[in-house]
Each structure stands twice: as structure tokens, then as C-alpha cells.
């Protein structure tokens, strides 16, 4: 997030789009989540970037319900 905002900070809309795509790629490629229900980034402020995320972990076996992950807060940029 920090690198994307630093590289594209002059255009916050572009920075947020790229950061969102990068987050989806990392979450899915690393098998952190099986499904993303919500991923909202922004706005960018002096404090950081507001983040809201809900996702479902990958199914490990058929007898257990996958866990839901919820994260909400500010990702600090400094």
C-alpha cells in the first residue's frame, strides 16, 4: 500500500485502484482468502488509507465451515 501510494500519490484515484488490485492479487495468490466479499480502500488522508475488508478463508475440508475474516481501520502510510 505504501509503495503504491508513494508512486501514484499525485492521482489518488489511480493509487487506490492499483492498491486494490494488488491487494486482491496477494490475498488470492497466497491463499489467504478463497472469496473476497468486500474490499474498500480510501480515502487517502494524512493519517493513512481507510480499509474495509471481509473475506472467507479457503475451504480446508468438507466438514468445517471456512472462517470469515473482517478487517477495518486505517493503514498508516508513514
Supply the pLDDT for residue 75. Answer: 93
Query: C-alpha grid cell for residue 17?
Result: 485502484
pLDDT, residue 4, reads: 87
Helix (H, G, I), strand (E, B) or coil at 29: helix
pTM, two decimals, is 0.85
Three cell numbers written together for 35: 472469496
62: which 3 cell numbers?
468438507
Distances (CA, A) of 38 to 13, 53, 71: 18, 5, 10
Q: State pLDDT tens for residues 23-78.
A: 999 999 999 999 999 999 999 998 999 999 999 999 888 888 899 999 999 999 88
Amino acid at each position: 500500500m505504501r509503495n503504491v501510494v508513494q508512486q501514484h500519490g499525485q492521482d489518488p484515484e489511480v493509487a487506490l485502484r492499483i492498491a486494490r488490485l494488488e491487494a486482491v492479487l496477494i490475498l488470492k495468490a497466497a491463499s489467504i482468502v478463497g472469496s473476497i466479499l468486500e474490499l474498500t480502500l480510501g480515502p487517502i488522508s494524512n493519517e493513512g488509507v481507510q480499509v474495509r475488508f471481509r473475506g472467507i478463508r479457503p475451504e480446508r475440508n468438507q466438514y468445517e465451515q471456512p472462517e470469515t475474516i473482517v478487517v477495518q481501520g486505517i493503514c498508516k502510510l508513514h
